[in-house]
Amino acid sequence: MVTVVIMCISYSMTIDEQIIECKSCPKWENVSQWSEFQDNIITAINRSKSRVLISAPGKTLSINKKFFDALKNSQKNKAYVSIIVSENTTKEILTKNNFDNITLYPNLRYDCIIIDNRAFMYAPIFIDNYTTKGTLSYLKINDCYTAIDDLVNFFNYQWREMNLETNTKSEILPLSLMAKTSSKLPLSINETNESLYFFHNSPLGGEVGRLNTSIIIPSFFDPSNTTYLFLGSIPTNDISTTDISFYSKYKQILMRNRYILFLMPFTNNTEILDNILPLRAFRNAEIRFYSKEHKGPNYMITDNNVIIFSHALNGYAVSHYVGLHFTTNSEEFRNISMKRFNNVWETVSNSTDII
């Protein structure tokens, strides 16, 4: 039997820090160049003293040398480095550069790097082309120890599921692998009524205490008069047949005379455009297409919440992939998100101009 040790690192906090679960809401930041995002990460890794945990889905053909140097520096500083990737090509690149604590998880679909007591999420961690142009959006978490602990627990849980043999898994999970946030246990932000939490989906089953995406999504749609959806990818199949659960939910909302505004990546492929025709049958649904410079994570804005998704919002992804999604009812975060959505909405093409 193989013994596997999961390294969980905790931090001591003062009484004041324990009372305020999150001193501030995570920031949704933009950079004009992708290199700026990676430079921020590299700087943080070079300074890390305790841990660097990376979840990196997607195919990677090359990784910036500065990134490798930073990881090696962090190891010299006694930081614990662990990486989960979805593609074997990425694992091979890391292995060739003398990194050995790497787990392959093909169903992985959430970008996240945890560096000591902060995290960067929802943007590619390993960027093939360091000179890639166009804005890049990402979520940065500081001043929120419990949220970071939650991300660490989720990472460790996925690592455990892929590395432990079936007959060695215990039915009782330790606290270090359980969710610390959920819809029933959100984290308060600076002692206000505002809060945040994470929810997930996984084909291997769920963490203890964290609800699945398929359960959470309807609770956001139902009370909202207007829903704003920014899709990172356009449906490649007829949504009325392949994403029946989500299409049914959209249809229910629209039939109650509520509104949904969709932003999707631009395409002139008529077959793909035909896939969204079922939505265009409703007068209270509007679709616009954005160009690649506006690309970003999938997100949804309702009357009271903002939700950022780690992968495409469709039935297949929710059933087959590991995703970790963020939501908050912070008024400031919602205002920033609405400004972001409206800035794109006002500058792109209406679907009726294309179809």
pLDDT at 342: 96
233 within 8 A of 314, measured Cβ to Cβ? no
Per-residue pLDDT averaged across 151-165, rounded? 89
Residue, of 254 and 251, whose pLDDT is higher:
254
Reduced to 3 states (helix: H, G, I; strand: E, B; else coil), residue 71 is: helix
Q: Where are the beta strands (DSSP E) in 86-124?
A: 102-104, 112-115, 118-121
What is the distance, to the nearest Å, from the Cα of residue 172 to the centroid of all Cα atoms in its chain? 27
pLDDT at 309: 95
Residues with Cβ < 8 Å from 344, sequence gap 6 or more? Answer: 230, 263, 290, 294
pLDDT at 68: 94
The mean pLDDT value of the chain amounts to 83
pLDDT > 80? residue 355: no
Q: Which of 25-29, 101-105, 256-260 has the lowest mean pLDDT?
A: 256-260
Half-sphere exposure of 247 (CA within 13 A, CB side): 17
Amino acid letter at 79?
Answer: A
Domain ranges for the chain: 22-159, 212-353
Per-residue pLDDT averaged across 69-75, rounded? 97
Residues with Cβ < 8 Å from 334, sequence gap 6 or more? Answer: 301, 304, 305, 306, 328
Per-residue pLDDT averaged across 331-354, rounded? 84
pLDDT tens readout for residues 267-310: 887 776 776 777 778 889 998 988 888 888 999 999 999 999 99
Per-residue pLDDT averaged across 215-238, rounded? 79
- By CB neighbour count within 10 A (0-12 exposed, 13-18 middle, 19+ buried), where does 78 fall? exposed
pLDDT at 311: 92
Res. 171 pLDDT band, cuts 50 70 90 = low
pLDDT at 304: 92
Cβ neighbours of 163 (radius 10 Å): 14
* Secondary structure (DSSP) of 137-179: EEEEE-S-HHHHHHHHHHHHHHHHHHHS-GGG--SS--GGGS-
- By CB neighbour count within 10 A (0-12 exposed, 13-18 middle, 19+ buried), where does 126 fall? buried
296 within 8 A of 34, measured Cβ to Cβ? no
Q: Using CA atoms, how far apart are residues 86 and 178, in angstroms rounded to an integer?
A: 23
Q: Which of 35-49, 102-116, 337-351 has the lowest mean pLDDT?
A: 337-351
Per-residue pLDDT averaged across 211-230, rounded? 84
pLDDT > 90? residue 2: no
Q: Do domains 22-159 and 212-353 have the same CATH topology?
A: yes
The pTM (predicted TM-score) of the whole model is 0.88
Q: Does domain 212-353 have CATH number 3.30.2310.20?
A: no
Residues with Cβ < 8 Å from 196, sequence gap 6 or more? Answer: 22, 25, 26, 144, 147, 181, 186, 187, 189, 326, 327, 328, 329, 330
Q: Is the backbone of residue 98 left (phi > 0), alpha (psi -120 to 50) or beta?
A: left
Q: To which H or E segment does residue 319 belong?
A: helix 315-320
pLDDT at 14: 39
Domain 22-159 class in CATH: alpha beta
